[in-house]
Amino acid sequence: MPKPNSIMAVLAIWSLSATVAESGIGVNWGTVSLHKLSPSTVVDLLRENKIGKVKMFDTDPDVLKGLMGSGIQVMVGVPNEMLGLISSSSGASDLWVQKNVSAYMGKGGANIRYVAVGNEPFLSSYSGQFQSYVIPALMNLQQSLAKANLAGYVKLVVPCNADAYESSLPSQGAFRPELIDIMTQIVSFLNSNGSPFVVNIYPFLSLYGNSDFPQDYAFFEGTSHAVTDGSNVYYNAFDGNFDTLVAALSKIGYGQMPIVVGEVGWPTDGAVGANLTAARVFNQGLINHILSNKGTPLRPGDPPMDIYLFSLLDEEAKTILPGNFERHWGIFSFDGQAKYPLNLGLGNGRLKNAKDVQYLPPRWCVAKPSTDLSAVVNHLRIACSAADCTTLNYGGSCNAIGVKGNISYAFNSYYQLQKQDSKSCNFDGLGMITFLDPSIGECRFVVGLTDSSSSSFIKHSRWFIAWLWMSWGVWIFVL
């Protein structure tokens, strides 16, 4: 572990540089994926796109090692499931900070600026499961950071879902009655330690969960359903939601509290309304709105101090209990390729793709064209229980490609997950391997990623296959 003095020297340098260039636009980097890019590739992707802030949901050692020396500001997370232990044991808190914060900081280390204590711990669907742990965990972690000489630099925050507050109009915003006391204590703690209030705002979920929600109000391009609140008029759901929080904070005496939007975005697949066009329009509108510095009716000229887009990459292994769209929030697909043109306003123009991504050979598993597929149901169940088939459901990008196309998509998803093992394309003789990309429109049949150790071979063999096809009109397998 680095010596405290060396850590403080580095923190002083970081603090000076942070006052010069802070973008205000960051991303959430989740890692619940079936096809994972190496952390070094993702960090290069962040740098290439000049993204200077990253929010994590845990303390993945590989990710933190990848971020060391990058200068990128990092928010790490204490999972909800750990709050009970940390709240009840100062020793456990000390050990957590030592292993997950101190160990990565210092000269050439990670620039950890925030520790998120839980993730939406007051979500109403949790029925108060984590509620009693939050304040004791905050207290213990603050003491642990102080012992490590980090309390002046690393700030504790508590990311809250927007369901922590409620109202019919923004100016009437208030925290849920059962949360008023605990929120008052938390906000007082945050304020006394120079920490912002972190909130997650999702206009998409408002639209998805309410058939009466006006669609144009979810975006930033004007609406015929503006909300009038006294002398204030709201033209988009983001501003209305944000000011509802401002009003709730004002009611407990902290109306000027700095606010960070910890999660905000729009999915590209898996539901009606979740598509590439809507995601581009929402995210670009949001970024332009934030960077215009117009603020909101209750905070004119004072936008959120930071926003973290949700999310950087698709995560094909996330739970789909909230909806199939949960696996499709990324501004980049799982392989670091931009899904649509987006300018983050960081002086870098449109998104730039990840470089030197190491793919498996260009081949796919599909259903045999002349085979009776009446016995395919069990195979589909097995394939989709392991691989991601959410694009096949209603509203998904692959929903309309036909029955045989759906079967092929499921077969291929499983085949790529199994690193193109030829046996995984058998399906009792119903599957076959093809070298012709079966993708249709926005329905993309993926090719999986390979290990870095074989990257050079795969890279050259893909060119060799292409040369053979152009020169001889034949394909050969590259094993």
Together in a domain, 196 and 247: yes
Residue 299 lies in a domain: yes
Residue 479 lies in a domain: no
Together in a domain, 106 and 253: yes
pLDDT tens profile 217-264: 999 999 999 999 999 999 999 999 999 999 999 999 999 999 999 999
Together in a domain, 381 and 263: no
Together in a domain, 275 and 416: no
- Give pTM, 2 decimals: 0.90
Residue 323 lies in a domain: yes
Together in a domain, 77 and 196: yes
pLDDT higher than threshold 60 for residue 176: yes
Residue 8 lies in a domain: no
Residue 242 lies in a domain: yes
Give the count of beta carbons closer than 10 Å to the beta carbon of residue 443.
Answer: 19
- Residues 166, 221, 263, 326: which is the catalytic one? 263
pLDDT tens profile 60-78: 999 999 999 999 999 999 9
Together in a domain, 180 and 238: yes
Residues in the chain: 479
What's 34's domain CATH number? 3.20.20.80
- β-strand partners of 73: 53, 111
Active site residue 120: yes
Collapsing DSSP to helix, strand or coil, 339 comes out as coil
Together in a domain, 314 and 420: no
Together in a domain, 328 and 427: no
Residue 447 lies in a domain: no
pLDDT score at 161: 98
Structural domain harbouring 392: 364-434
Instruction: Match 């004791």 to its residue by tokens.
Output: 136
- β-strand partners of 449: 359
What is the total count of domains within the chain?
Answer: 2
Residue 29 lies in a domain: yes
**What is the share, in percent, of the chain residues with pLDDT greater than 70?**
89
Together in a domain, 156 and 254: yes
Residue 284 lies in a domain: yes
Together in a domain, 274 and 386: no
- Residues 120, 315, 316, 326: which is the catalytic one? 120
Together in a domain, 315 and 273: yes
